[in-house]
Amino acid sequence: MEIASIYQYYAKWIREGRLPVSSDWNKDLKIKFTVQDPCQIIRKSYGDPVADDLRFVVKSIVGEENFIDMTPNKSNNFCCGGGGGFLQSGYPDQRRQYGRIKFDQIMATGADYCIAACHNCHAQIHDLAEHYGASYGTVHLWTLICLSMGILGPNEREYLRDDLKEVNVFHPETAM
Amino acid sequence: MGEAAIKLEGKKKSTFMDKVKEMLPEGGNLNLCLTCGACSSGCPATGIEGMDPRKFLRMAALGLDEEITHTPWVWMCSMCQRCIYVCPMKIDIPRLVYFARQSWPREERPKGILGSCDMALKNESCSAMGASPDDFRFVVEDVLGEYQEAQPEFAEMEAPIDKEGAEFFLNQNSREPVTEPDEMVPLWKILHKAGVNWTYGSKGWGGENYCMFLADDEGWKHIVATSIKQARDLGCKVYLNTE
């Protein structure tokens, strides 16, 4: 049995034309995105080829000109501090001290959103923004893939900020 | 004239590091350290609790077993392996950290990690939030029905559990079904759009593994084995990590 990351398959399905994604929605908005490379998937498992797949997906859905990479990145990326059980270990001060490097990296990109497709990364990067008082959003990859295909409903936007709450809404009448 | 070198007397006792070396391929390269500091200079945990990866390894090499098996720093290193990645000698410091975690009596390890591991061992879901297979099925079916009705373009969308012969087996982080079920829907839509033949498993659907973080080998293995067995029993070809 093959053990794979869904990033590989998102990229494959886009390349095969099975996911009709488009970045047109962001042509005029020009909302900027960066992406977190989860240690577990990239450095510890599949390496740079899957980091490249992840970037291919991100650029396909937000537009190449609206993607800003962190430095360093891919297999050389910094852990956000949400991994290894840190979120549950009962050391929140140390966890945020650890995450300061990640926070500064994200801020240096100037991006409006950090895409975090791993749940530990998502929780930590979201918490870092709140703790250090930044306005960037932390969003899952699947949210943006659906947004870019025009099939993201109003109740699937928990992690979008006001700038994207009303963009390309699918079945807006179902808002709860 | 230089002074004669000081020779340490006495028989060398077996240290924590020696024991770890025996368990790792190539001894984890633990005795190859050049003390260059590449590990520490690029480690976000450097400086926390007065510790860093190089210092931790040097202390282990010096046999300061008491100190390295008691510092809470081992729970502040996320075992992200960046230190190995940048190390010219590929020294496995994270695995040394892992075994230092394991040297703590199980009940004295961090409560949050311990509790999440124990939750996952409670039933066959292997969910760190303790959701049972029935809970999971209920939430998935409930949310699916709601969206099939509200968004007619997705009336045929599926979110199967234990579908025999599905090509893909997907795991699911417990956070969605337990705390924010609407967040599962974008994933299902993508799979539907791409025409993917997929399934969740009633057993081993939980995507997280806190027993691994707890350094509980048995629990870690149990969770992985339960999930993989379910995927194999259903005849799936690809085990897909959804994060």
How far lies A83's CA from each of A39, A41, A44, A125, in Å?
8, 12, 12, 11
pLDDT at site B1: 63
In chain A, the domains with their CATH numbers are 20-149 (3.40.50)
pLDDT tens-digit profile of B165-178?
999 999 999 999 99
Domain that holds residue B152: 111-240
CA atoms of A33 and A69, how far apart (whole Å): 8
Query: Which one-letter amino acid corresponds to residue A30?
Result: K
Structural domain includes residue B121: yes
Section A14-28 average pLDDT: 98
Asked if residue A97 has pLDDT above 80, the reply is yes
Structural domain includes residue B2: no
Can you read off the two tokens belonging to residue B38?
């590449």
Q: Are B197 and B92 contained in the same domain?
A: no
Which of the residues A14, A46, A54, A151 would you substitute to probe the B interface, choosing the one with the greatest number of B C-beta atoms within 10 Å? A151
Structural domain includes residue B23: yes
CB contact under 8 A, B150 and A89: no
Q: Are B92 and B187 contained in the same domain?
A: no
Which of the residues A6, A21, A95, A127 would you substitute to probe the B interface, choosing the one with the greatest number of B C-beta atoms within 10 Å? A6
CB contact under 8 A, A5 and B240: yes
Of B88, B104, B120, which closes a domain?
A: B104
Q: Which band of pLDDT confidence, cut at 50, 70 and 90, is reported for residue B98?
A: very high
Q: Are B148 and B95 contained in the same domain?
A: no
Q: Find the range with the poorest average confidence among A2-11, A35-44, B8-17, B48-57.
A: B8-17
Structural domain includes residue B54: yes
Q: Are B149 and B218 contained in the same domain?
A: yes
pLDDT tens-digit profile of B27-85?
889 989 999 999 999 999 999 999 999 999 999 999 999 999 999 999 999 999 999 99
Asked if residue B10 has pLDDT above 80, the reply is no
Using an 8 Å Cβ cutoff, are B202 and B123 in contact?
no
pLDDT at site B23: 87
Can you read off the two tokens belonging to residue B3?
């002074």
CA atoms of B205 and B220, how far apart (whole Å): 14
Of B80, B104, B128, which closes a domain?
A: B104
Structural domain includes residue B7: no
CB contact under 8 A, B110 and A89: yes
| Domain total in chain B | 2
Contacts of B186 in chain A (CB under 8 A): 140, 142-143, 145-146, 152, 156
CA atoms of A65 and A9, how far apart (whole Å): 23
Section A124-148 average pLDDT: 98
Ramachandran quadrant class, B10 (left: phi over 0; alpha: psi -120 to 50; beta: rest)? left
Asked if residue B103 has pLDDT above 90, the reply is yes
Asked if residue B99 has pLDDT above 90, the reply is yes
CB contact under 8 A, B182 and A145: no
pLDDT at site A176: 87
Of B84, B104, B124, which closes a domain?
A: B104
Distance from CA of A44 to the nearest CA of B (A): 7
Q: Are B134 and B223 contained in the same domain?
A: yes
Strand partners, A113: A33, A137
